[in-house]
Chains A and B, each alone.
Chain A
Amino acid sequence: MPEAPEVTEAPTPEIENQPTVRSDAWLQKTGEHMKKLPGSAILTFLSEGFAHWGSSILSQLPNFKTKFADAWVEFMKNPENAAKVAKLSPEVVNQIAPLTEGVVTATGIGGVLLGTFFGWQGVKHAPNVLEKMIYMGSKAALVASYFFAPAYIPLATGISAASTFIGMRHRK
């Protein structure tokens, strides 16, 4: 008697993760919308004309090491800060040295070192700690940091405010 043919199930199609799909679509749509706003040509400088931001900034800031040293002294006068920094690896501390003017304040440097500025969890696994730590991956944030430091505060305030509205709408 011939053997029954092997029954193989058709592979089930991958079920798309909707939050992922929707998140990526939202990001793309919002980015596209921005390109239509007047003045968007100005921001192409950030993404296209500024390829070597690291070296160009450092070359423009002859006094950054002095400022860093002064701010560092102030920062370390606080015993709590000193204790936290003592736990950081030397590699991290060395990589923080060439910081830009935007974060050369006691608060900024302290924030960077403590990881509160840029999110320590993300930084810990970054191949290039300095690159990840300084700009949150965003050149636009660098520009914002020239206007005020630390730049994350109004962003954080906005997100906090939005959390309130969202909570009010959806809380049962």
Chain B
Amino acid sequence: MLTNPKTAIISILEIINYQNDKETFADKFIELCIKQSFLEMIGDLPKEKVALLTSRIKSVSSLEQFVKTLKEYIHPSLLTRKIEQVSAKLFDAYIEGIFQTLDEDTKAKLMSYLAKIENGQ
């Protein structure tokens, strides 16, 4: 069974002894993954379509309209795949970014936890 991403991020922050608000960090991390996924999908569109989408979005007045408009340009199954790729990329980058700041004991605990995520525990 897949590990809930917010739970996973908070657990990692606990392992590395992150001192600030762990929930806020986890929320922001997840938001980054999703926003970047959308942006990369939008970036893959031809320039004229991006311009058109941008101008159409400016006139929406509800989330429902926003999503309906986006759906005309972004296919759900492609977005799913994009989120998988982007979240893998960002998670990898984050872990590598902090890895060298950890002592050996913390690194070992982190690796052990990542193995659990890998195995769906």
- Chain A residues with a Cβ under 8 A of chain B: 17-24, 26-27, 30-31, 34, 37-43, 45-46, 50, 53, 56-57, 60, 116-119, 121-122, 136-144, 146-148, 151-167, 170-171
Contacts and interface: CB of A to CB of B under 8 A. Distances in A.
Query: DSSP class of A's interface residues: helix, strand, loop or mixed?
Result: helix
Give 6 closest A-B pairs by Cβ, nearest first.
A158-B87, A137-B27, A39-B42, A156-B2, A18-B101, A154-B83
Query: DSSP class of B's interface residues: helix, strand, loop or mixed?
Result: helix
Interface of B: 2-10, 13, 16-20, 23-40, 42-43, 45, 50, 53-54, 57, 60, 62-64, 66-67, 70-71, 74, 76, 79-81, 83-99, 101-102, 106-107, 111, 114-115, 117-118, 120
Contact of A34 (B19, B36, B70): B36
A137 B27 CA distance: 5
Contact of A146 (B17, B32, B67): B67
B95 A39 contact: no
22 contacts: A17-B19, A19-B98, A22-B98, A27-B25, A38-B43, A40-B39, A42-B38, A42-B57, A50-B66, A60-B62, A138-B31, A140-B30, A143-B34, A144-B34, A147-B71, A147-B79, A148-B79, A156-B8, A159-B8, A161-B84, A162-B87, A167-B118
Given A136-B30, A154-B84, A170 B91 contact: no
Contact of A39 (B3, B7, B54, B118): B54
Nearest to B68: A146
